[in-house]
């Protein structure tokens, strides 16, 4: 087992993309040497280890970004978290390109033949180049007059990202509250929440009339500030500390909650998010969010 000495305040977690590579002893020892850490503990053979270590500010290596550079091109992710309170009691997750593999509004547009036009606005919004609410209104306006059944067609294209079920169900089985909070639409979040087992879900509402989309979104719009407020509400309602919360997302509209949560993890995120959030999953799956909390693979819940 890893050294449990109180002198080790943090834990480094090294995770390999199982479809591309496997952790070797050379990889593990290199990580341990870089942080002068304790003996590695295997979380998943060939996939994930954890190493108790000192705070990043005390390393000879500059920071967590330097560690990622060491393993660049190897299909591996490196995360560093405080050892105290690793298993979180609250999960707040974005939906599009985080829990699911797509941007659902872009998919609606694709079925309507205007996919490229809307996707370009989505990309700029997720990169933080344009304000979220304005971008949402602009994109939804382009859907005016389209049949509501396009949503059903788009839903058929939605796939859960690998590890989504394990993440939500494992945390719930261990007493955590889970919330899907999206700048997308309730039509999709309600279905995704049911599939994964989220306790609750929140998103925007596409307005319709006579089986047609009106080109308007219900108010108030759920944007970056609302995501942060849901996080704060859930922390207060659960009687927990913000340290006990994990948040994950990929876009600029997730930054507010990622900055504040005890464990804010950028998931295959846009450049603007990666520049600001140090703990990142860029190579692996949502399973890594469980490894970051110290769960072993044999503790994961899939059904």
C-beta of residue 164 within 8 angstroms of C-beta of residue 130: no
Among 4, 125, 23, CA closest to 74: 23
CA distance 206 to 226: 17
C-beta of residue 103 within 8 angstroms of C-beta of residue 96: yes
Residue 60 bears catalytic tag: no
CA distance 241 to 89: 9
Q: Please identify which residue in the block is written with the tokens 């005890």.
A: 262
Q: Which of 77, 96, 106, 107 is catalytic?
A: 96
CA distance 8 to 81: 11
CA distance 63 to 120: 34
Helix (H, G, I), strand (E, B) or coil at 64: helix
Helix (H, G, I), strand (E, B) or coil at 7: coil
Residue 94 bears catalytic tag: yes
C-beta of residue 49 within 8 angstroms of C-beta of residue 13: yes
Beta-bridge partners for 79: 13
Q: Which of 27, 77, 94, 254 is catalytic?
A: 94
Q: Write out the H or E segment, with its range, that includes residue 77.
A: strand 76-82
Tokens of 196: 């994964």
Active site residues: 94, 96
């Amino acid at each position: 087992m890893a050294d449990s000495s109180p002198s080790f305040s943090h834990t480094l977690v090294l995770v390999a993309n199982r479809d591309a590579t496997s952790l070797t002893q050379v990889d593990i020892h290199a990580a341990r040497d870089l942080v002068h850490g304790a003996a590695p503990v295997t979380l998943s053979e060939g996939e994930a280890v954890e190493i108790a270590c000192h705070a990043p500010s005390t390393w000879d290596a500059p920071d967590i970004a330097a560690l990622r550079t060491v393993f660049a091109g190897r299909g591996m992710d490196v995360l560093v978290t405080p050892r105290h309170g690793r298993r979180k009691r609250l999960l707040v997750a974005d939906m599009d390109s985080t829990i699911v593999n797509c941007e659902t509004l872009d998919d609606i547009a694709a079925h309507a033949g205007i996919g490229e036009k809307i996707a370009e606005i989505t990309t700029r919004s997720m990169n933080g180049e344009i304000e979220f609410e304005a971008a949402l209104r602009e994109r939804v306006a382009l859907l005016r007059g389209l049949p509501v059944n396009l949503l059903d067609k788009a839903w058929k294209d939605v796939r859960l990202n690998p590890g989504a079920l394990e993440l939500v169900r494992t945390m719930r089985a261990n007493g955590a509250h889970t919330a899907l909070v999206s700048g997308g639409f309730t039509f999709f979040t309600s279905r995704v929440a049911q599939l994964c087992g989220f306790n609750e879900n929140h998103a925007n509402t596409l307005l319709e009339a006579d089986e047609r989309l009106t080109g308007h979104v219900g108010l108030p719009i759920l944007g970056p500030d609302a995501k942060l407020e849901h996080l704060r509400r859930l922390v207060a309602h659960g009687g927990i500390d913000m340290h006990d919360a994990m948040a994950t997302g990929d876009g600029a509209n997730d930054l507010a909650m990622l900055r504040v949560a005890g464990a804010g993890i950028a998931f295959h995120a846009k450049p603007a998010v990666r520049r600001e959030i140090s703990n990142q999953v860029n190579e692996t799956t949502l399973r890594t969010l469980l490894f970051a909390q110290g769960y072993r693979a044999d503790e994961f819940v899939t059904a």
